[in-house]
Amino acid sequence: MELREYSGVIHLHSDYSDGHLGVEEIIRLSLEAGLDYLFLTDHDTLAARRDGWDGWYTLDDGRIRRLERGAEAGRRLLLLVGDEVTPDRNHYLALGYEGPEELFKLAPQRVIDRVAAAGGVGVIAHPDHRGNERFGIGCYAWDDWSVRGFDLVDLWDLMTDWQDHLRGLASALRAVISPVWVLKGPKRRSLRRWDERLRAGPAPVVGCNDNHGRPYNLLLFTLTLLPYPLALRTIHTHVLCEPLEELDWRRAEAALLEALVAGRSFIAQDYWWDARGLSCWAENPTGGRLDLGGTASFEDGPWTLRLELPAAARVDLVGDGELLLRRRTRCVTFTVVQPGAYRFEVWRRRFGVPKPWVFTNALRLVPRDKMQ
Ligand SMILES: [Zn+2]
Ligand SMILES: [Zn+2]
């Protein structure tokens, strides 16, 4: 199957809930930011879906125009409407989902089950969100890890990462002046939990945005802390997927979700350097190939892991949670000598300071009797 790369944003708010901008303006800004797809996820509502916003769009002289299929134009955006199920804590994104919308009163496991039963794909949103008492931000972490049946976990969340810098006035000022600079990457705790889950089975992850773009009135002027044009250019999930351009939005949504659930994706902070073109796979001498997110039998090896980057950077190869290799390079070739879940973290220097750039999904090579 031919796979193409689609870079987009998952988890964003519009004025259908507490986001600042309307969907039309968000579509325009997403096209200007070069996104291929956007999952809009307002709180406990699918009203944007009922109003018919799902679809393909392009820009004509600065105005958005709707397309039947993506093939009709060069720069195009696939807008898809999901729902962020929003209890006090344990927020859950329901993608490819038609309702019901009133799930926020249910316990986490029941929310997961209801979304799955309706054929939706569920994402545990910002699981390690901390909130910030000093700045009046509540904590919206995911508490219940006894749950089963969810599809994806948000590994790197723009809002969580950025809000973590609001520790005092000086750091808050830094975060407001240079919001991209202060991003630190997925939290250690999120990475540790992910590595543990990968030992047990496939555990695909995505990057999320969760921007609201709300302006705040400060005495004489109005300040938007994370304006949409900036937020839409930061954390993206690059999906490797069958070609979507000939598909109507419903079929394109299904194909995109299938690739996300398979883990055929990587997360990148693209504001300074676009990670498009990155490829990562494993291969064996008999022509076997394993794509990102996949699982294969270790005994079918020897397997070679391969990573090719669009630019040189510091690459960390992590196997079962341990750092196996650190190298400044554009290409990595690594022969696997023991079973495990292997993934790459890529950091690149900006003015001499290492900044998080790419986090790939894992390639799992497991003993044959543990294949699942
Ligand atoms: Zn949330
Ligand atoms: Zn949200």
The per-residue pLDDT for 21 is 96
Q: Which residues of the chain have pLDDT under 50?
A: none
pLDDT 10s digits, 22-59: 999 999 999 999 999 999 999 999 999 999 999 999 99
pLDDT 10s digits, 70-118: 776 678 999 999 999 999 999 999 999 998 998 999 999 999 999 999 9
Domains and CATH numbers, the chain: 4-271 (3.20.20.140), 274-367 (2.60.40.10)
In degrees and rounded to multiples of 5, residue 100 shows phi and psi of -70, 160
Give which of 239, 157, 238, 152 is closest to 197, Cα–Cα. 152
Ligand 1 centroid – CA 153 distance (Å)? 13
The per-residue pLDDT for 215 is 80
Ligand 1 centroid – CA 137 distance (Å)? 12
Q: What is the separation, in whole angstroms, between the first and last Cα of the chain? A: 22
Q: Closest ligand to 45 CA?
A: 2
Ligand 2 ion: residues within 5 Å (CB): 84, 210
Ligand 1 centroid – CA 45 distance (Å)? 13
In degrees and rounded to multiples of 5, residue 116 shows phi and psi of -65, -40
Helix (H, G, I), strand (E, B) or coil at 9: strand
Q: Closest ligand to 124 CA?
A: 1
Do residues 32 and 273 lie in contact, with contact meaning Cβ atoms separated by under 8 Å? Answer: no
Q: Closest ligand to 19 CA?
A: 2
User: Does the predicted model carry a pTM greater than 0.85?
Assistant: yes
Ligand 2 centroid – CA 37 distance (Å)? 17
Ligand 1 centroid – CA 174 distance (Å)? 24
Q: Closest ligand to 39 CA?
A: 2
